[in-house]
Chains A and B, each alone.
Chain A
Amino acid sequence: MLLSLEPRGQQSRPMLWLSPLLAALLTLISGALLFAALGHPPLETLRVLLIDPISDLYGISELLVKALPILLCALGLAVVYNARIWNIGAEGQLLMGALAGSALAVHIIDWDSRWALVMTLAVGTLGGAAWAGLCAWLRTQFNANEILTSIMLNYIALNLLLFAVHGPLKDPEGFNFPESAMFGDATRLPQLFEDLRVHAGFYFALLALVVVWVLLQKSFLGFQVKVLGLDKRAAGFVGFREKKLVWIALLISGALAGLAGVAEVTGPIGQLVPQVSPGYGYAAITVAFLGRLNPIGIVFASLLMALLYLGGENAQMAANLPQSITQLFQGMVLFFLLACDVLIHYRPRLKAAGRLKAKGWTKEAAA
């Protein structure tokens, strides 16, 4: 017997919903087996990983804090990826957003006006957009592959940030730690609830969600972006401006990543530090695809990704699980989710091997 995949010809509607459920089930089963094999109580460990981190308000707030930057970056990536522009640089654009915002914020620590926050956010957003704009310029002007340019710009952004915290933006009273001064209160994103770290970046994420959803699902601009991504020749045939669309898509993507970065430094962190991002921009790539490049799907995917971050930390502390095992578990989740998505377009079928031989061929030889 052979298991083979046959194309369905059309995507299966029920599978769109069933595939994540199936993936969740498979993850739980194989996770339990894995933990049992390693001598950890399986159900207990799963609970520590997946339920404990969000069992109280504080946990949910932390979940949102982690999910917000991922969500912002991934929404931006949904726009470019729909145009088949492979921007791998959300991490760099996020860092540049944080850096640009901080560069302004440390100079206006004394301001009282709310304009300080508005300006800082705007500068950060523009910083991210500008960084993505570099990729757009290199691609439209020199036909440079944006995968390569955006990855390389990630490293440049990281090193610029390191240079800044060790040099020009270092807190003069900070005992030589590589950090900027704490921002002034007027430059900080307000918290939504007392004692919880979840901050006003939440509203930006909601706004971005609506904007990206309208852009991709309802607007003619989004339609052009999708046509460009699916079929470049058809886009040229009807006169869509490829260069303009590349610029717009990359600028939107970079702006949202930049906003994510500046919201981190003005929100939960409050200053510029070398570890602004534990790889949010890279996680967002996975999240964008996990959410099937659909804004609503991306919301769920970024919450899941944030949960995996939190659960991993929690399991290391509470269940004494080594970090490599929690990362293995995270990998399993993503693997099953993406693997089950194959079922949307293909149906599995068992094939009896050698059926052909059995039928017909020998009969006529005798005749």
Chain B
Amino acid sequence: MSELQHPPRLLLRGITKQYPGTLANDRVSLSIRAGEIHALLGENGAGKSTLMKIIYGVTQPDAGEILWEGQPVVMRDPAQARERGIGMVFQHFSLFETLSVAENIALAMGAAAGTPKQLEPKIREVSQRYGMPLEPQRLVHSLSIGERQRVEIVRCLMQDIRLLILDEPTSVLTPQEADDLFVVLRRLAAEGCSILFISHKLGEVRALCESATVLRGGRVSGDCVPAECSDLDLARLMVGDAEGLEAEYPKAEGGTPFLRVEGLSWHNADPFGVSLEEIALDVRAGEIVGIAGVAGNGQDELLALLSGEQRLARDQGARIRFLEAPMAHLRPDARRRQGMAFVPAERLGHGAVPDMSLADNGLLTAFQQGGLIGGGLIRHGRVEAFARRIIERFAVKTPGTHTPARSLSGGNLQKFILGREILQQPKLLIAAHPTWGVDVGAAAAIHRALIELRDAGAAILVISEDLEELFQISDRIAALSHGRLSPLRATAATSATDVGRWMAGQFDQPTPTAA
């Protein structure tokens, strides 16, 4: 009876979606009440995105039904979803950087909503009501990532919103910004708007959401009340049984400095890029140094300079020194010959060639290892053997060494790439976002491998957006903000709040000391 009087705002029953080769959603059911903040949890590839796209009308399910406030509906396209009051904030914003806030919102809402000028008062009003101050005339490229997200949220709030879907909204925010967002979301929920919050960060799901649906391999593996579940319970629902989910690693004290960066400044010619200012850091043998920061604060630039994709002039070579030898002017292959190794942020298209086999992708960075090449010819047998060693040692799930890199899941490919570097026994490993978009089980395996490499005496630099990860594995930590790097501190003596402040740029940059 009560269900008839108060039908849930959104009810999914038996949603199934088949893609070639994968069953993305398998009889998924989900129910969200009015004013409820509901979490959709799951590792990458669990089918979260597909389900969202079905709710928002981007794709159609093969089977199953959607009930919107008790009525069966067919969402043919996002416009129909929006008419019903469903709004969505994607992980990757769809904003035009050269247009103003108001122009972007007007574009998204369509001509019927009015001109940018006409929308301005409403934008101001909505953004102030929910405590998300926005200046409608500002150009988007001048906004921080957090502010851009506000633009996306405000765009959804401009209409009569009844269900707001947020796809990993905190992945681009500092901890403080994330807290601000949660305040807004709670207020929206209190006004009766339902919120579907997609995430894989367990802590924030527990803090924010009243109920959660967990997906694993396209199926609902459980519904729960996050506040009553431990991280381990939730993680088990997400990945099944996996060891090392809650591992704590002892912190280590570094030995001789392997990598020294001093007074590293670099002007970025790209007007939307970040320039680096007076970066100083050192990484010692047998320690992991973590660099935190929200994406787009100079991580890519710093990595390019460290890896040699971006080189400095010869006379500035000593800005980056490895084992006291100047490096900043050398090419990547020359740096690798000295014992440096790199894992870039993007796996496909940067760290691995998507259309090449795993064997060839192994050769890609290991070609200077003895024996893989003889007389200009590739020794295919040894290259195969090298790839097989990586696959065995790091438990990469793949049909074989001839599988193209693109057909591996993110976690498996990342294990392969990291394994490829570790098996070359580097003295210094620089890894960017080593577990970004990787499932919990693979992330644990990657962390273990990094710790092992550290304990074997290598120096490791990890650049990551995931604070939890950095606190878990790094021995010293710093943060990048607008191309400046905070001083390094022992992780054990630092709190997340401290690092959050650094990420927001509140630190004194160390004055360059005379070497």
Contact = CB atoms under 8 A, between A and B. Distances in A.
B407 interface: yes
Interface residues of A, number: 29
A172 to B, nearest CB: 49
Contact of A233 (B20, B61, B349): B349
Given A239-B333, A359-B63, A218 B377 contact: yes
Interface in B464-487: none
B404 A10 contact: yes
Interface in A214-267: 214, 218-221, 223, 226-227, 230-231, 233-234, 236-240
A7 B404 CA distance: 15
B351 A219 contact: no
B63 A230 contact: no
A9 B65 CA distance: 29
B43 interface: no
B350 A233 contact: yes
Given A227-B364, A234-B364, A364-B65, A6 B20 contact: yes
Contacts of B356: 226-227, 230-231
Given A230-B356, A237-B342, A360-B63, A220 B377 contact: yes
B312 to A, nearest CB: 15
A9 B21 contact: yes
B60 A234 contact: no
B273 to A, nearest CB: 16
B308 A239 contact: yes
A238 B333 contact: yes
Nearest to A232: B349
A345 to B, nearest CB: 11
A234 B349 contact: yes
A230 B380 CA distance: 20
Contacts of B351: 234, 237
A361 to B, nearest CB: 6
A234 B373 contact: no
Interface in B47-100: 60-65, 67, 71-72, 74
Given A218-B377, A219-B378, A364-B65, A238 B332 contact: yes
Contact of A236 (B67, B309, B380): B309
A223, A227, A361 — most chain B CB neighbours (10 Å)? A223
Given A234-B351, A239-B334, A361-B65, A223 B360 contact: yes
B20 A231 contact: no
A360 B354 CA distance: 39
A57 interface: no
B377 A219 contact: yes
A8 interface: yes
A365 interface: yes
B373 A220 contact: yes
B318 interface: no
A359 B65 CA distance: 9
Contacts of B71: 365
B72 A237 contact: no
A351 B195 CA distance: 36
Interface in B323-338: 331-336
Nearest to B353: A231
A240 B336 CA distance: 12
Given A218-B378, A223-B378, A356-B60, A238 B354 contact: no
B378 A360 contact: no
Nearest to A366: B72
A9 B408 CA distance: 11
A9 B378 CA distance: 27
Nearest to A355: B62
B134 interface: no
Contacts of B331: 239
B174 to A, nearest CB: 28
Nearest to A222: B378
A360 B64 contact: yes
Contact of B352 (A8, A218, A223, A234): A234
Contacts of A236: 309, 332
Contacts of A364: 13, 65, 67, 72
Interface in A274-327: none
B271 interface: no
B364 A365 contact: no
Interface of A: 6-10, 214, 218-221, 223, 226-227, 230-231, 233-234, 236-240, 356, 359-361, 363-365
5 contacts: A231-B354, A231-B356, A238-B332, A239-B334, A360-B63
